[in-house]
A and B are shown apart, each in its own frame.
Chain A
Amino acid sequence: MDISFFSPPEITTFFHKNPQKNDPYLDMQSTNNQPQSSHTSTSISSDSGEPCGDGKWASRLLRECATAISDKDSTKIHHLLWMLNELASPYGDCDQKLASYFLQALFCKATESGQRCYKTLASVAEKSHSFDAARKLILKFQEVSPWTTFGHVASNGAILEALDGENKLHIVDISNTLCTQWPTLLEALATRNDETPHLKLTVVITASIVKPVMKEIAQRMEKFARLMGVPFEFNLISGLSHLGGLTKENLNIQDDEAIAINCIGALRRVQVEERTAVIQMFQSFQPRIVTVVEEEADFTSSKNDFVKCFEECLRFTTLYFEMLEESFPPTSNERLMLERECSRSIVRVLACDDEIGEGDSECRERGSQWTERLREAFSPVSYSDDVVDDVKALLKRYRTGWSLQPQQADHESGIYLAWKEEPVVWASAWKP
């Protein structure tokens, strides 16, 4: 399949074939396979003021392109990719951004170059991921949006309550949050009780991009714990290729410790086939509590159906991008970085399916799906009223649009953070 972007000019004739119709793009489909003589030579230039009245051109185009790829219709693919290329921009409005990043993924899928693309993107990102940049990025994101802090507050509350009264705490943090969850927990440990327990924090990172900054993070955390007056020990496990390699020994779990396992966006990085095994491994550590926070999207059950997977990916990413756009100021560097990070994830999900990557699978599942898995080994713990109140108070501190969808009485499978009524993040707690 030979895709060249910069195709001969006759393609442009399609745009103005039927000027009366509202949607020239749909027309392209019908006229696709018929050779046309050039009517007009003007093409829709790279200008974002589209003649089309409907603002959601990106999703439509992208969907069609995905269908075309699934159907292996190379001419159509060619056309759509070219159009998207013309209209897309990572600096434009939401539609343009979506078009740009999904175009990248679709292109990789069409040319079967997903793996290479992902690796390149990842290595570029890694180089620019200094401690200061990473810190600034994550703290700014947490300042403008509760996307991550929602899970932190819920999990911290559950952990504090479950481990209340214990003297030796050991928290296994499987996440890439750069320990931004823990300062508030440390502060709570220091001020809540008369007797401050000893805390051992073992951080397991799965995304290699995070690794270089963790050394600095470790130092800061130790210093902060000292400041708070909490006896603290920090360990880092970073060399694991996959979570299945965790054992009691390499986590250094002692018998007299009260264990809490904290998984933030971690389970989705496990290969789908290994997820059950990983959950059982958690069970073997005999934790007092397991807190799980994941994004609410399903990229797993539709693995075999590209279009369906694509639709779900597009839906979720659209929500995410819209949220980012409304949360950050207009010319925000941080937002750009987050969008790029998301784009890497999109490439990974859509264009790397059959290839085992370096561990980050990114195949999200919904809360209900995770619940099914976790129920095999654990039973759910409802968040107490205090924790729910804390979360509600947290959401109040952000802009409007965020809400808490409470736990369903029947499933009891956790709470959802909702952006404009759409659930986006799921948080839950489990005990053996």
Chain B
Amino acid sequence: MTEEVISSGFIQTPIGEANPPPLKKKRNLPGTPDPEAEVIALSPKTLMATNRFLCEICGKGFQRDQNLQLHRRGHNLPWKLKQRTSKEVRKRVYVCPEKSCVHHHPSRALGDLTGIKKHFCRKHGEKKWKCEKCSKRYAVQSDWKAHSKTCGTREYKCDCGTIFSRRDSFITHRAFCDALAEETARVTAASNVVAANSINYHFVGASLGPGMGQHFASMFKPISTNNETPANPIRQGLSLWMGAHGLSQTQESIGNNNLQEIHHQLNPAVSSSGLVFTTDPFVSVPCSNPPPINYPLNWDFGNKPSSNSSEELTNNSSSLPLSNVAKDGGSQVISVPSLFSTQHQSHQTHSTANMSATALLQKAAQMGATTTDPSFLGSFGLKCNDSQIQDGNRYCSPYGGTATSVATALQSSVTDHLSTLNELQMYPSKRRHIQVDQDSTPTTGGGQTRDFLGVGIQSICHPSSINGWI
């Protein structure tokens, strides 16, 4: 194997002179080598060769210098020949053989042979190693091994609280999740999806750079046009942010403290809601941009006039925690927005207790009357298999509005028409069995993946209240 040793402009000392070894190994930035070092340019073939270190006695090749030395001991050499040649002392740096690469130039050489080998493989090499689970490809075996260890074990957590083990279902869920509406600016797309946990922190604005101010605003522009979408107090609340520009910074600390109070009042297990309550990011909000400043001020807004809302929070800590942002069809159950919703009379006077009623009002509007005349069915002699129907949740929104429409349709077409009968079979057996599969405090939080969209049964249909609608 031939090595080309290039004497670059940096190197002035003649070969053979021993440099005193440095006392402490300083780690330079990658690609900014020690100017005193000797630059080595290896051909791709040489670089990828596995046995670069040859024993001069028997010609055997080894991957590492240490292995070669070990082997040489076995030859029982006289002491003189055991010494390493002084030639090896000088530090070596390596350049990438690929001409178009930035590391091809000696000024950006890499200091480690293994490093340059890996670099060459990763950037310019063929990806021979493939992960079984996700079919991601790697050129370097150690990269592949490292990935295989973590692949599939990572969990992705959406802002709404649901946890996913599969990336693709996480992405698809995210696109349609109600929590998406509350997102603030993102810096890069890649970092959002890859660093799943950091999503929570992004929201706070700790990562907001100056340039994101516009983006931040643009995220919320459509809010005012979204009034017809299912009641979303977060959105209304956020429009508050845009209006709250004039407030001074001094209120911020108050806002922070109040927020922390509230945070403790709320179930501390719920940390992964659409609005993040980890205290650290709040404290560290840089406050250099108007939009982030407004954020803590909002809490202030909500806090000032409504100490009652805080009380309401404590009173009703049992119901409707934060993570139920992605609730189908109903108003939002987030208790924190209730803080600033007191400002916003237009939407909801949300105490959590009222929220259930409001939620149920909306639900009931969707579902309509649920009574059908059982004798109507009896005359058709159809059997209804009631045993299957246990979960009251199943009769929420999917059946919204069908009850009345089917009932009227029946009146109009009184035939022994099987199709409508099939529909009807559902209704008399529509028992509102609400499974409360948690204890009395439905403090769901991120740990429980109830159903796919993180919707809890008990959160939607509060048992005591919903019976009033039947």
Contact = CB atoms under 8 A, between A and B. Distances in A.
Interface in A163-211: 179-180, 182-184, 186-187, 190-191, 196
B381 A393 contact: no
B222 interface: yes
A107 B176 contact: no
B232 to A, nearest CB: 12
Contacts, number: 173
Contact of A124 (B384, B394, B402, B452): B402
B410 to A, nearest CB: 10
Interface stretch (B3-11, B110-118, B129-137, B256-264): B129-137
Contacts of A343: 422
Interface in A42-61: 46
A142 B172 contact: yes
Interface in A324-339: 331, 333, 336-337
B192 interface: yes
Interface string B169-199: 1011111100011010010111011100000
Interface stretch (A128-136, A270-278, A294-302): A128-136
Contacts of A153: 168
Given A127-B401, A135-B176, A229-B186, A104 B419 contact: yes
B366 interface: yes
Given A130-B366, A139-B172, A220-B175, A191 B134 contact: no
Interface in B380-428: 380-385, 388-391, 393-395, 397-402, 405-406, 409, 413, 416-420, 422-423, 425
Given A229-B186, A333-B398, A91 B417 contact: no
The residue among B169, B183, B229, B409 with the most chain A CB atoms within 10 A of its own CB is B169
B305 interface: no
A416 B388 CA distance: 34
A220 B174 CA distance: 10
B329 A5 contact: no
Contact of A389 (B130, B190, B218): B130
The residue among A100, A139, A343 with the most chain B CB atoms within 10 A of its own CB is A139
A180 B172 contact: yes
The residue among B175, B382, B399, B453 with the most chain A CB atoms within 10 A of its own CB is B175
Nearest to B388: A91
B245 interface: no
A137 B222 contact: no
A220 to B, nearest CB: 5
A217 B135 CA distance: 30
Contacts of A337: 398
A224 B169 contact: no
A11 to B, nearest CB: 14
A185 to B, nearest CB: 10
B47 to A, nearest CB: 26
A184 B402 contact: no
Given A331-B394, A389-B130, A223 B385 contact: no
Contacts of A89: 383-385
Interface stretch (A113-121, A244-252, A253-261): A113-121
Contacts of A220: 175-176, 180
Nearest to A390: B135
Contacts of A333: 391, 393-395, 398
Nearest to A221: B175
A230 B189 contact: yes
A386 interface: yes
A130 B190 contact: no
A140 interface: yes
Interface string B97-114: 000000000000000000
B419 A393 contact: no
Contacts of B400: 127-128, 130, 133
Contacts of A180: 172, 176
B176 A120 contact: no
Contacts of A113: 417
A128 B398 contact: yes
Given A390-B135, A392-B135, A139 B452 contact: yes
The residue among B172, B173, B416 with the most chain A CB atoms within 10 A of its own CB is B172
Nearest to A113: B417
A128 B399 contact: yes
A238 interface: no
B219 interface: yes
Contacts of B413: 120
Given A120-B420, A139-B173, A393-B132, A91 B452 contact: no
B132 A216 contact: no
A133 B397 contact: yes
Nearest to B382: A85
Interface residues of B, number: 69
Nearest to B168: A184
B123 interface: no
Given A127-B402, A136-B452, A396-B133, A104 B422 contact: yes
B304 interface: no
Contacts of B419: 104, 108, 117, 120-121, 347
Contacts of B416: 4-5
Contacts of A191: 189-190, 193-194
Interface string B58-90: 000000000000000000000000000000000
B391 A331 contact: yes
A228 interface: yes
A6 B288 CA distance: 78
A220 B380 CA distance: 45
Interface string B221-236: 0100010011000000
Nearest to A225: B175
A4 B379 CA distance: 13
Contacts of B122: none
Contact of A187 (B171, B186, B395): B171
Contacts of B124: none
A394 interface: yes
Given A104-B418, A393-B133, A140 B452 contact: yes
B166 interface: yes
A224 B135 contact: no
A26 interface: no
Contact of B406 (A124, A130, A223, A331): A124
A124 B405 contact: yes
A104 B75 CA distance: 90
B36 interface: no
A357 interface: no
B328 interface: yes
A217 B423 CA distance: 28
A390 B194 CA distance: 18
A397 B190 contact: no
B366 A397 contact: no
B180 A224 contact: yes
8 contacts: A90-B425, A117-B417, A124-B423, A130-B398, A132-B230, A179-B175, A224-B180, A336-B394
Given A117-B418, A124-B409, A136-B452, 6 more contacts: A128-B402, A130-B397, A186-B175, A216-B229, A220-B180, A397-B133
Interface of B: 130, 132-135, 137, 166, 168-169, 171-176, 180-181, 183, 186, 188-190, 192-194, 218-219, 222, 226, 229-230, 328-329, 366, 380-385, 388-391, 393-395, 397-402, 405-406, 409, 413, 416-420, 422-423, 425, 451-453, 455
List the 5 closest A-B pairs by CB distance, nearest first: A132-B328, A333-B394, A183-B175, A190-B189, A389-B135
